[in-house]
Structure 1
Amino acid sequence: MRNIYMTIGDVSKIYGISKQTILYYEKLGLFLPAKIEDNGYRYYTLEECYRLEIILTLKKLNLSLKDIQDYVEHRGPHMLKTLLEDARYGFDREINDLYTNKMNLERTLFNLERYLKIPKNRLFFGMKEESFYALTPYDATEKGKKKLFTLLEHQARLIEEVPFKAIQIGMAIDGEDYEQGDIIKYSHYCTDVGFDYEGDMEIVTRPRGMYLEMFYTGLYEEQAQWMYDKVSSYLSYEGLQIAGSVYIEPVRNYWTETKREDYLSKITVPVEE
């Protein structure tokens, strides 16, 4: 059988792959015919089919064609062990990414349902667990295109680095500034990235503790003063003070709304006695 020749059409039919794919593998030097006639006809033997079987099987492990070619040309049991261990690591990463995406999806669904029912313009006081925020410094002197680039680059980096998540970019205000009435003196662009962020952006931990929280619709700066008055009144009545950065974040933005005035946002204020 080793001396029986098959055409490219035979190989294509047997393995269910196109002639174009076979020729592409040939161009890469990955899968060469046993001989090529002067008329361009290509012929393959059992040995080439064995090689093709290795290629098609290893492709199922999401290995690169370069790695597959390197293995096919220098194959041996120890090299196969290393190749399979690398593939296993890749699958472990994929499984972890799938799990993280599913958990973020479940969290997004939960929050969507919650935020459809949440009362607006009411202060909520209670315990919140720690959360993690990616920060980009806010420069009030930036204008026009430069300011736009800073904002979009913050989001673009997170889209690249974070598993599935509708990026909600907010603003942070230093707690002392807010307490003194500087209610639009932003310090950072901020995004809640969850506990499993592995990117390179600056991350701060919003600690577990007591918080004031209020949901509202519309633009923050148009409503900042009455919200500040409401927060200040509550703090004074309860004998509390601000204990860290204040976060203003959309919870429903352009992902679900077509008009900015319909955005649902929240302000979160850490407090202590």
Structure 2
Amino acid sequence: MKKFLTISEMANYAGISRRTLIYYDQIGLFKPVKIGENGYRYYSIEQYFELDVILLLKNLDVPLEEIQTFLKNRNVSYVLEGFMKQKERIDEEIAKLKNIRQSLDNYIDRYTTLKNFDLESITYSYREAEYFVASEVIENFYDINSLQVYGRFYSSIDSSDLFSGHPIGFLVEGGAFYEENFHDAPYRALVKIPSERLHLYKDQQILQRPAGYYVSGFMKDEIHHINIFNNRFRNYLKEHGYQLNGDIWELLWQDETTSENPEDQIFEVLIPVIKNTAPAE
């Protein structure tokens, strides 16, 4: 009866490569029972059982350094505790992957919207309520203080919310809509969050965009076109008998992720409105 197996025979049995067995030997995880005078590695048949344990644990995604500890503590209590800890790690990884998957879905929906947006149309539609984490008031976009506000704001947001795939937003007081230079009005930066995550933030950080009817439209290059866009909106409200009913919400649908040119940024502007009940002049 053959007493020893070559590295190729052991590798064929386990369905792994010779390189893997060599690596296991080098890190002290699974060593051959002897090295021949020719320098070849030889394994005993009984080592099948130990290799089976290693492959089982590796299939359960147990790190190699922990597998070494497992092999030294092969009893029910230790293995059971180890498997329960590994299950907790896997559950955390599943939750993380689900969050990544949801973010990818959001980004795909977002960029699909971008492919089909229309700069010419203005729509009137009902919008459900949504929640946002809001920054302090930013007085001037080009001021050094605004960078400090952004820094404090984004560092306070959980990364899963900051990179959720939803467009970041901005909130401007409704009265600024009628000012000559809307772009210079003070504003607050916004990050959308689902209602089940509201408890992670302070109440004063949370803003709700109320459910209701909004007039909305897309705009390219806000800095240079906001006043022209506002004139279009004012004319639309006047023609359809609507009046402003709250603050103005902006969503940045296209940002530096899909274009390196700031002029390519695409905003959606949402203006809450009610029907004008004042008698016609």
SS at the partner of 1:183?
helix
Q: Which residue of structure 2 aligns with residue 227 of structure 1?
A: 229
Is contact 1:242–1:272 with CA below 8 Å preserved after alignment?
Answer: no
Q: What CA deviation, in whole Å up to 9, does each residue of 1:130-177 have, x standing for no partner?
A: 44546676674339xx96xx78x969x98x64698657455x244267
Q: Which residue of structure 1 aligns with residue 270 of structure 2?
A: 268
Mean Cα deviation higher: 128-137 or 45-54: 128-137
Q: Distance in 2 between matches of 1:271 and 1:204?
A: 22
Q: How far off its partner does 1:96 sit?
A: 4.0
Q: Given the superposition, is the C-alpha separation of residues 98 and 175 from structure 1 closer, same or farther in structure 2, using an over 3 Å criterion? A: same
Mean Cα deviation higher: 63-72 or 82-91: 82-91
Q: Which has the greater radius of gyration? A: 2
| Matched pairs, number | 262
**Alignment pair present for 1:75 and 2:80:** no
Q: How does 1:9-158 map to 2 (within 5 A)?
A: 9-37=8-36, 40-133=39-132, 140=141, 141-142=143-144
Q: Which residue of structure 1 aligns with residue 3 of structure 2?
A: 4
Q: Given the superposition, is the C-alpha separation of residues 120 and 94 from structure 1 closer, same or farther in structure 2, using an over 3 Å criterion? A: same
Q: CA RMSD in A?
A: 4.4
TM-score normalised by structure 2 residue count: 0.67
Q: How far off its partner does 1:218 sit?
A: 2.3
Q: Distance in 2 between matches of 1:239 and 1:167?
A: 28
Is contact 1:123–1:214 with CA below 8 Å preserved after alignment?
Answer: yes
Q: How far off its partner does 1:38 sit?
A: 5.8
Q: Given the superposition, is the C-alpha separation of residues 41 and 111 from structure 1 closer, same or farther in structure 2, using an over 3 Å criterion? A: closer
Q: What CA deviation, in whole Å up to 9, does each residue of 1:219-260 have, x standing for no partner?
A: 00111223344556739x6444324xx443332455556866
Is contact 1:173–1:184 with CA below 8 Å preserved after alignment?
Answer: no
Q: How does 1:154-165 map to 2 (within 5 A)?
A: 161=160
Q: Which residue of structure 2 aligns with residue 175 of structure 1?
A: 173
Q: How far off its partner does 1:5 sit?
A: 2.1
TM-score normalised by structure 1 residue count: 0.69
Is contact 2:119–2:220 with CA below 8 Å preserved after alignment?
Answer: no
Unaligned runs of 5+ in 1: none
Q: Distance in 2 between matches of 1:185 and 1:62?
A: 54
Identity %: 18
Q: What CA deviation, in whole Å up to 9, does each residue of 1:22-49 have, x standing for no partner?
A: 2222232221222335654332223433
Q: How far off its partner does 1:71 sit?
A: 1.4
Mean Cα deviation higher: 71-80 or 226-235: 226-235
Q: How far off its partner does 1:15 sit?
A: 1.7
Is contact 1:166–1:255 with CA below 8 Å preserved after alignment?
Answer: no
One-letter identity of the residue aligned with 1:7: T
